[in-house]
Amino acid sequence: MNEMDSSDTPGTTVTLPTTHSSWSRRDFIKGVIASGVSVSGMSYFGAGCTTPLPAQTGGVERLLSLTVNGQVRRVDVLPGETLAMTLRYKLGLTGTKLGCDRAECGACTVLIDDVNHYSCSTLTHRVRDREITTVEGLESPDGTLHPVQQAFIDELGPQCGFCTPGQVMSAVALLRANPNPTRQEAREAMSGNLCRCGAYDHYLNGVMRAASEA
Ligand code: FES
Ligand code: FES
């Protein structure tokens, strides 16, 4: 195994096998499902976001304690910073994707107190007392995937994989609120997550499989 810089986020380290030819499509899908690693040519984070600024701006306390994936993380947050920005570029949780960055595609979906939200349209300062869960927080400590993640693999849900973390988070939120949805209920619950590859039926099959196996 060797380590390479991800094209997704400059400076993010992703472990890849030395011999890429040994990768199967199923291996790729497992990587996408577990940590949200996928191909992205876009970098959304301008230099201004990384420039150190005073610890307090306009009377707003910037040093926050956020509960993310069961851990309390201390992080310096700008007053108008979105949760997606904080997760990806301050906390290194790049499984949460940024697509439209304006509440349309669902790529940035995370759970806030078990409810799915678009993190690109959520101010980090508004969730300082909430439980935040990202795709990185779903698998068990021993590496066992969440049933939704496993079901998406079994149903070959991801194509490019960019939308997959958001799809996973919406499916998890649905099954926590409604463990036995009808296919139509699942379709409606997943309707806020767009997939440019058009793998909707695969994801829907995954949701129904996860529900039936729970
Ligand atoms: S990036 Fe948040 S909805 Fe598209
Ligand atoms: S798998 Fe490519 S956008 Fe959904």
Whether the per-residue pLDDT at 117 is higher than 80: the answer is: yes
Residue 56 belongs to a domain: no
Residue 116 belongs to a domain: yes
- Of the candidates 83, 9, 95, 91, which has an alpha carbon nearest to the alpha carbon of residue 45? 9
The ligand 1 atom nearest the CA atom of 109: 2
**CATH number of the domain bearing residue 82:** 3.10.20.30
Residue 118 has a pLDDT of 98
In this structure, the answer to whether residues 71 and 88 fall within a common structural domain is: yes
Residue 35 has a pLDDT of 65
CA distance 214 to 142: 19
Residue 44 belongs to a domain: no
Residue 175 belongs to a domain: yes
Mean pLDDT of 146-154: 98
Whether the per-residue pLDDT at 136 is higher than 90: the answer is: yes
- Specify whether the CB–CB gap between 130 and 67 falls below 8 A: yes
Residue 5 has a pLDDT of 38
Comparison of pLDDT for 6 and 90, the residue scoring more = 90
In this structure, the answer to whether residues 102 and 156 fall within a common structural domain is: no
Total domains in the chain come to 2
The residue nearest atom 4 of ligand 2, judged by CA position, is: 195
Residue 60 has a pLDDT of 72
Residue 107 belongs to a domain: yes
Mutational pocket test of ligand 1: of 86, 116, 118, 134, the residue with most ligand atoms within 8 Å of the beta carbon: 118
In this structure, the answer to whether residues 145 and 123 fall within a common structural domain is: no
In this structure, the answer to whether residues 126 and 194 fall within a common structural domain is: no
Residue 195 has a pLDDT of 98
Q: Which residues of 31-70 are buried (b: 16+ CB within 10 A; e: fewer)?
A: bbbbbbbbebeeebeeeeeeeeeeeeeeeeebebebebbe
Residue 8 has a pLDDT of 44
CA distance 72 to 88: 16
Point out the domain boundary residue: 81, 115, 137: 137
Instruction: Select, from the ranges 22-26, 58-62, 67-71, the one with the highest average predicted confidence (pLDDT).
Output: 67-71
User: Is residue 103 within 6 Å of ligand 1 at its C-beta?
Assistant: yes
Point out the domain boundary residue: 104, 137, 170: 137
Point out the domain boundary residue: 86, 115, 137: 137
pLDDT class for 17, splitting at 50, 70, 90?
very low
- Of the candidates 148, 33, 167, which has an alpha carbon nearest to the alpha carbon of residue 108? 167
Residue 39 has a pLDDT of 42
Residue 198 has a pLDDT of 97
Residue 1 belongs to a domain: no
Residue 14 belongs to a domain: no
Residue 75 belongs to a domain: yes
Whether the per-residue pLDDT at 147 is higher than 70: the answer is: yes
Q: What is the DSSP letter of 74?
A: E
**CATH number of the domain bearing residue 192:** 1.10.150.120
In this structure, the answer to whether residues 88 and 155 fall within a common structural domain is: no
User: Is residue 98 within 6 Å of ligand 1 at its C-beta?
Assistant: yes
Residue 28 has a pLDDT of 55
CA of 192 to the centre of ligand 1 (A): 10
Residue 51 has a pLDDT of 39
In this structure, the answer to whether residues 128 and 145 fall within a common structural domain is: no
CA distance 100 to 84: 12
Q: What is the pLDDT of residues 165-191, one digit of tens each?
A: 999 999 999 999 999 999 999 999 999
Whether the per-residue pLDDT at 42 is higher than 90: the answer is: no
- 41, 46, 51, 56: CA torsion to nearest 10: -120
Comparison of pLDDT for 124 and 4, the residue scoring more = 124
Average pLDDT over the chain reads: 83
- State which residues form the domain around 74: 63-137
Residue 31 has a pLDDT of 63
